[in-house]
Structure 1
Amino acid sequence: MGGTVRWGVLATGGMAAAFTTDLMRMPDAEVVAVASRTAASAEAFAGRFGIPRAYGSWDALAADEDVDVVYVATPHAAHRAAAGLCLEAGKAVLCEKPFTMNAREAEELVALARERGLFLMEAMWMYCGPVIRRLTELVAGGAVGEVRSVHADFGLVGPADPGHRLRDPAVGGGALLDLGVYPVSFAHLLLGEPDRVSAHALLSPEGVDLNTGMLLGWDSGATALLSCSIVADTPLTASVSGTEGRIEFSHGFYRPEGFTLHRRGREPEGFTVAGRRDSLQHEAAEVMRCLRAGETESPLVPLDGTLAVMRTLDAVRDRVGVRYPADAEGAVTRA
């Protein structure tokens, strides 16, 4: 695939708007179609962004022969159904995080993509940003020695209304899937899948997690202390500590402007990268690079890593007692 990559956008919410805005700033990307559950919503979104085709059904977008890749931005309870529909139709897919509601759904999507030889990637934009990529290069090069400890938190004071989606188990409400996926993914990036998972949480009356602490352990002796919350405004910081030094991120580790490297006997070193720290263009560029190269998986956001993160999120939910309707065998949410 050469030249312009033609995108379809499935959903019309805030993430769809943010991604579309960034895509339209890229000269080698074109948004050619959008779909929603209603024609009115799709048409309004298309009018806002000047998108030529608007569909009132997911199936119509999946069948559009002019679409090279679909960005799935539905609520995460519908990721399995939406991404699966597009893969069945032969489309490459970039699917928002959390990738699915649970590891079973994730395994189904990955198996389908691999069986069809189609590109599939989780939209873990943090992995694609230049600052986090520089972090992984430094750690891999031994800048902090052997990693022994990772800390990360992501918390905010979310809506108190029990009717909000963050409080609804049917759509994967709670802190873990919306926010906890970031610190968990950060730890996975540096240490891989943990050998042990411990967790504690404050649950809402509806049964979703409001405030969750996680301790992950590896046979190497490394640990990760992570937290997420929708009832506390946390610092949003992260650090990586090793036998030779540590790397510290200030507020907003998941979309960082830079970090500081501390090593024994040396002055602290600051690393920064120019450009918008909240840009979604980095993950879009990686998708388009893969499509042009004929790659069906991204080395920056590998599917095996996505599966490992989903298994860890499942383990955390198991420890704290959070269960979703989607966990029932065979359940697939389309709305």
Structure 2
Amino acid sequence: MIKQSRPKTINWGIIGLGNIAHKFASDLLTINGANLYAVASRSQTKSNDFGSKYKANKAYNSYEALAKDPNIDAVYIATPHALHKANTLLCLEHGIAVLCEKPFAMHTGEVDEMINKAKEKNVLLMEALWTYFLPHYQFVLSKLKDKTYGEILKLEADFGFYRAFDDSSRLFNKSLGGGSLLDIGIYPIFTALSTLNNPETIEANATIFDNGADSSCQMHFKYKNGAVAHLKSTLLEDTPTEAIFYCERGTIKINTRFHAPSTVTIFADKKEENFKFPNQVNGYKYEAIHFNNLIREGKTESDIMTFNFSKQLIKTLDNVRKLIKLEYN
């Protein structure tokens, strides 16, 4: 469980005011010692409306204006994937701690540039992969780390939902990182890396929309110890969106929407146990509390979502893209 340290109020800014920013801002209101100080959109009207809804002190019509505000301690970046690097560098240059929504950036080169800038400026930077901090996921990680049910033999993780193709939507826009892999395939891959580490070999195949964005991706990771991970992302159909760990002496199943606040079922010793994790928020609260604590402690890197793990994650995504011949504009 992520615990909150004694509060010194952290003034937050949010850049990019889409759906995920609404969820993050809503959660931020529930955190002691956190204040939504400023928001920024390219549209002043949108910024004003968002800021009013979540009680922000300031509403800007440019990201640059927000980054220049000396009262901001931390910025949450929720713009499209292709803008993550530029937005992150902008804030780091002004000495502001950055929590950047996943995927960190479009490819390894961009992620390296962001991390190098954070180190140069000695400023906190973290990829916002919220699943890592959710109580149910931390619970499962503890069971797997302790080998309560032995070694993992096989992981199955999927993430899929149906959306009618819309060439004007960010979700399908390849130049913005749209498609199934970066948007939702990152979650099954994250699950494999955070529990089984780097695979020895990767196999992957994909289906592609007419505009070149991937509509689905199937991935098979194989490990030196014989373990395997079967992973899937798709925008063509609704799938269970579960993560199932088949271990030597039992099976741990994270139920539907495994990447979000969820429940866990464990099958072992001919018994079934169900675990619930009370949650009154969207789930972004936990990564924000962790980030607040890092700022208060003067840290420049998370000990959970480390730079090395973010590099490992983007490198794996790059390797999958090469296998399915997917290039971003």
User: Which TM class, normalised by the smaller chain length?
Assistant: over 0.9
% of aligned pairs identical? 34
CA distance in 2, matches of 1:235, 1:266: 24
TM-score with structure 2 setting the length: 0.94
Equivalent pairs, count:
324
Where do residues 2-41 of structure 1 align in structure 2 (5 Å cutoff)? 2-41=7-46
Select the residue among 55, 64, 87 that pairs with 1:50: 55
Where do residues 73-92 of structure 1 align in structure 2 (5 Å cutoff)? 73-92=78-97
Q: Which residue of 1 aligns with 2:3?
A: none
Are the equivalent residues in 2 in contact too, given 1:154–1:229 (CA < 8 A)? yes
Q: Which residue of 1 aligns with 2:283?
A: 279
Deviations 1:253-281 (A, max 9, x none): 11243212223x35233222212473211
Gaps of 5+ in 2: 1-5
For residue 221 of structure 1, give the secondary structure of its aligned residue in structure 2: coil
Are the equivalent residues in 2 in contact too, given 1:200–1:213 (CA < 8 A)? yes
Q: Which residue of 2 aligns with 1:144?
A: 149
Q: Which residue of 2 aligns with 1:330?
A: none
CA RMSD for the aligned pairs?
1.5
Select the residue among 192, 205, 214 that pairs with 2:219: 214
CA distance in 1, matches of 2:60, 2:294: 27
Are the equivalent residues in 1 in contact too, given 2:256–2:262 (CA < 8 A)? no
For residue 268 of structure 1, give the secondary structure of its aligned residue in structure 2: strand
The Cα shift of 1:159 comes to 3.1
* C-alpha distance 160-125 of structure 1, shift in aligned 2 (>3 A): same
For residue 83 of structure 1, give the secondary structure of its aligned residue in structure 2: helix
CA distance in 2, matches of 1:18, 1:231: 25
CA distance in 1, matches of 2:319, 2:288: 30
TM-score with structure 1 setting the length: 0.93
Runs of 4 or more consecutive aligned structure 1 residues displaced over 3 Å after TM superposition:
none
Q: Which segment is superposed worse, 195-204 or 251-260? A: 251-260
The Cα shift of 1:243 comes to 2.1
What amino acid is the match of 2:78? A
Deviations 1:20-67 (A, max 9, x none): 111112231101111122333322322232212111211111111110
CA distance in 2, matches of 1:194, 1:313: 12
Gaps of 5+ in 1: 326-335
1:224 to 2:229 alignment: yes
Where do residues 295-314 of structure 1 align in structure 2 (5 Å cutoff)? 295-314=299-318
Are the equivalent residues in 1 in contact too, given 2:7–2:32 (CA < 8 A)? no
CA distance in 1, matches of 2:17, 2:327: 28
Q: Which residue of 2 aligns with 1:290?
A: 294
Q: Which residue of 2 aligns with 1:333?
A: none
For residue 299 of structure 1, give the secondary structure of its aligned residue in structure 2: coil
The Cα shift of 1:178 comes to 0.7
Are the equivalent residues in 2 in contact too, given 1:144–1:241 (CA < 8 A)? no
1:67 to 2:105 alignment: no
Q: Which segment is superposed worse, 156-165 or 304-313? A: 156-165
